[in-house]
């Protein structure tokens, strides 16, 4: 298996090792279906889900397409590493048949039976550990669902009807502007202050822990409108979001699906690709767009689809310059700067365990996600922005272990042995600068439409500004599909207009 230069693993015996094995690594890194100097129909910048789906849809429609990727692998902010027979999802992970766009891809490539369920019952430690300050108690998963669902509902139920009418069509684009603006002006902290007197200290702590896990930052930094979007996507119920979005993943891993989409596109003979080429600039002039890599390599196309994440969009030089709204949105960026850490502990006892903590000591949650082939428990843990007062940096293994053990029942901390840590530092990744999108206050109503608009012959696709499952894998697939369609239609219309002008010119010449 080929290694990517990204990510790291730690074990007590070997220490830290950088770079991880993954089927997502592309070797050889470049391929040109014809002359590398040709003028392409479309250049797609970025090989995450949006870029892969766009490249596939374009190439299968006969478009000569070049896929340019800064990394040495497929997947962008989603990819998995296989270590000793176990798949560790480094970024986006959980998908579900209630996510229509990604499920279409799963079914299309024959993976509809390829499911793994997170946090299965039957383990020895089958409960949730709830830590609130210095207080701690273990509750059943039924109690956990009741508590977390109840407080999340209080948080989101603005109208006494769970937004079932006010935000009925969550995939639509016509949310009442008055409601959107009102809700988007609030942070999650603002909303907590409105309902604080309805909650006990434990209930408040459980809700805060959920919000920090969702938004990857303190509640004052994350937007209330984004939380309401997730509530509505979860079928307007307190536990719906977790049942859909934190329940099932692909057994073969996200990189397997990336591979199938990529190889489908390549099989058409219309796809060229260049991995390991960070893009420096995009220049739209005289009907052609030139994409220039940092090393000076340049390619030309009639159209470009740019899929770089929101937080790095302003790092690419555009000519003509991007509209000010796009630049401002990129500089505001996602509020989500979380850490995601895989932790394997010795033995199978914690197969069914989970935890929430507020405040945590670097991590606010952990939950079991299957056993490794060595019969050890694999756990996934989340923590807030490393630069926040309650965050930790991923370059300190001792602090990661200490933060994790704080989530355990106090009487068991000394007996639990950590035998592997796996992670990717997304916040120090220059091509991501953060994780999934969770919008800060005001970003959505002020900038979403501007982020979706093309700029001349340059189009933009990303989960960060999709409709529906915005910030999720499904949103990336949806955005890539929709923008590829727009480019195909635009080029068809331009070709028809050109043919019409040519015919008219020939007719006039005969007069």
Q: What is the 3-state secondary structure (H, E, C) of 1-29?
A: CCEEEEEEEEECCCEEEEEEECCCECCCC
- Whether 338 maps to a domain, the answer reads no
507 pLDDT band (50/70/90 cuts)? Answer: low
74 with 258: CB under 8 angstroms?
yes
487: containing domain: 3-80+253-329+436-500
Look at the chain and report how many structural domains it folds into. Answer: 2
- Residue 364 in 3-state DSSP? coil
pLDDT at residue 407, as a whole number? 98
374 pLDDT band (50/70/90 cuts)? Answer: very high
Given 197, 225, 245, the domain boundary residue is: 245
Do 153 and 234 lie in a common domain?
yes
Based on its alpha-carbon atoms, the radius of gyration of the chain, rounded to whole angstroms, reads 24
Do 172 and 218 lie in a common domain?
yes
Q: What's the average model confidence in pLDDT over 300-324? A: 98
Residue 508 scores a pLDDT above 60 = no
Query: Could you tell me the two tokens for 183?
Result: 């809700």
Residue 172 scores a pLDDT above 90 = no
pTM (2 d.p.): 0.96
Do 212 and 148 lie in a common domain?
yes
Percent of the chain with pLDDT over 90: 93
Rounded Cα distance between 441 and 456, Å, is 29
Do 319 and 455 lie in a common domain?
yes
- Whether 113 maps to a domain, the answer reads no
- Whether 60 maps to a domain, the answer reads yes
What angle, rounded to 10 degrees, do the helices at 473-509 and 49-60 form? 40
Q: Is 69 annotated as a binding residue?
A: yes
Rounded Cα distance between 121 and 130, Å, is 18
The DSSP code for 465 is: G
- Residue 496 in 3-state DSSP? helix
Q: Is 449 annotated as a binding residue?
A: no
- CATH of residue 167's domain is 3.90.660.10
Q: Is 403 annotated as a binding residue?
A: no
Do 319 and 443 lie in a common domain?
yes
Residue 471 scores a pLDDT above 60 = yes
Q: Which residue has the tokens 């996602």?
A: 334
Residue of 450, 487, 448, 456 whose CA lies nearest to 44 = 487
- Residue 35 in 3-state DSSP? coil
Given 245, 263, 290, the domain boundary residue is: 245
In tens, the pLDDT along 111-146 reads 999 999 999 999 999 999 999 988 999 999 999 999
Rounded Cα distance between 262 and 24, Å, is 10
- Whether 196 maps to a domain, the answer reads yes
Q: Is 70 annotated as a binding residue?
A: yes
Rounded Cα distance between 189 and 191, Å, is 5
Do 234 and 172 lie in a common domain?
yes
In tens, the pLDDT along 375-395 reads 999 999 999 999 998 899 999
Do 270 and 313 lie in a common domain?
yes
Do 178 and 294 lie in a common domain?
no
Q: Which residue has the tokens 């989500």?
A: 336
Query: Could you tell me the two tokens for 171?
Result: 């995939």
The DSSP code for 321 is: P
- Whether 398 maps to a domain, the answer reads no
Strand 418-423 to 377-383 pairing: unpaired
Residue 265 scores a pLDDT above 90 = yes
pLDDT at residue 394, as a whole number? 97
What angle, rounded to 10 degrees, do the helices at 188-195 and 201-215 form? 170
pLDDT at residue 459, as a whole number? 98
326 or 508: which leads in pLDDT: 326
Rounded Cα distance between 282 and 302, Å, is 12
Find the length of the chain. Answer: 511
Do 207 and 285 lie in a common domain?
no
Given 219, 245, 271, the domain boundary residue is: 245
1 pLDDT band (50/70/90 cuts)? Answer: confident
408 with 48: CB under 8 angstroms?
no
Do 265 and 237 lie in a common domain?
no
- CATH of residue 35's domain is 3.50.50.60
Q: Interior CA angle at 409 toward 403 and 410, to 5°?
A: 80
- Residue 288 in 3-state DSSP? strand
Tell me what the pLDDT averaged over the chain comes to. Answer: 95
- Whether 345 maps to a domain, the answer reads no
Do 148 and 228 lie in a common domain?
yes
- Whether 72 maps to a domain, the answer reads yes
Phi/psi at 72 (nearest 5 deg)? -100, 15
Q: Which residue has the tokens 């990819």?
A: 79
Do 225 and 304 lie in a common domain?
no
Percent of the chain with pLDDT over 70: 97
- Whether 346 maps to a domain, the answer reads no
């Amino acid at each position: 298996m080929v290694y990517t230069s990204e990510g790291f693993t730690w074990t007590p015996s070997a220490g830290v090792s950088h770079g991880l094995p993954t089927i997502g690594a592309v070797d050889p890194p470049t391929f040109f279906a014809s002359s590398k100097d040709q003028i392409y129909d479309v250049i797609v910048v970025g090989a995450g889900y949006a870029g892969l789906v766009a490249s596939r849809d374009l190439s299968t429609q006969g478009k000569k397409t070049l896929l340019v990727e800064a990394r040495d692998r497929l997947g962008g902010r989603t990819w998995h590493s296989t270590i000793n027979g176990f798949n560790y999802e480094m970024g986006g992970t959980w998908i579900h048949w209630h996510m229509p766009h990604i499920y279409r891809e799963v079914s299309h490539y024959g993976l509809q039976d390829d499911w793994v369920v997170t946090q299965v019952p039957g383990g020895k430690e089958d409960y949730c550990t709830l830590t609130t300050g210095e207080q701690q108690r273990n509750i059943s998963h039924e109690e956990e669902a009741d508590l977390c669902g109840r407080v999340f509902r209080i948080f989101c139920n603005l109208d006494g009807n769970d937004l079932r009418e006010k935000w009925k069509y969550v995939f639509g684009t016509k949310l009442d502007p008055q409601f959107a603006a009102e809700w988007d002006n609030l942070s999650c902290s603002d909303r907590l202050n409105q309902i604080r007197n309805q909650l006990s200290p434990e209930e408040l702590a459980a809700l805060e822990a959920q919000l920090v896990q969702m938004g990857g930052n303190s509640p004052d930094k994350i937007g209330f409108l984004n939380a309401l979007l997730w509530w509505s996507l979860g079928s307007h119920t307190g536990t719906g979001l977790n049942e859909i979005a934190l329940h099932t993943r692909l057994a073969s891993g996200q990189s397997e699906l990336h591979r199938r989409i990529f190889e489908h596109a390549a099989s058409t003979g219309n796809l060229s690709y260049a991995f390991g080429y960070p893009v420096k600039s995009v220049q739209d002039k005289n009907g052609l767009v030139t994409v220039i890599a940092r090393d000076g390599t340049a390619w030309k196309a009639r159209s470009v689809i740019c899929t770089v994440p929101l937080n790095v969009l302003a790092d690419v030089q555009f000519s003509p310059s991007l509209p000010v709204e796009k630049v401002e949105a990129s500089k505001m960026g996602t509020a989500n700067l979380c850490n995601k850490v895989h932790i394997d502990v010795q033995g199978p006892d914690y197969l069914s365990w989970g935890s929430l903590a507020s405040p945590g000591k670097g991590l606010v949650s952990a939950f079991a996600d299957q056993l490794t082939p060595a019969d050890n428990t694999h756990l996934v843990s989340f923590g807030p922005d490393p630069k926040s007062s309650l965050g930790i940096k991923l370059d300190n293994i001792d602090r990661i272990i200490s933060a994790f053990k704080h989530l355990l029942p106090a009487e068991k901390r000394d007996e639990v042995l950590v035998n592997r840590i796996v992670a990717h530092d997304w916040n120090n990744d220059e091509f991501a600068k953060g994780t999934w999108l969770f919008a800060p206050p005001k970003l959505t109503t002020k900038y979403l439409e501007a982020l979706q608009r093309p700029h001349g012959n340059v189009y933009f696709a990303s989960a960060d500004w999709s409709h529906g499952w915005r910030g999720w894998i499904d949103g990336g697939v949806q955005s890539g599909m929709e923008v590829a369609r727009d480019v195909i239609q635009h080029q068809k219309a331009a070709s028809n207009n050109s043919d019409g002008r040519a015919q008219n010119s020939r007719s006039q010449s005969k007069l």
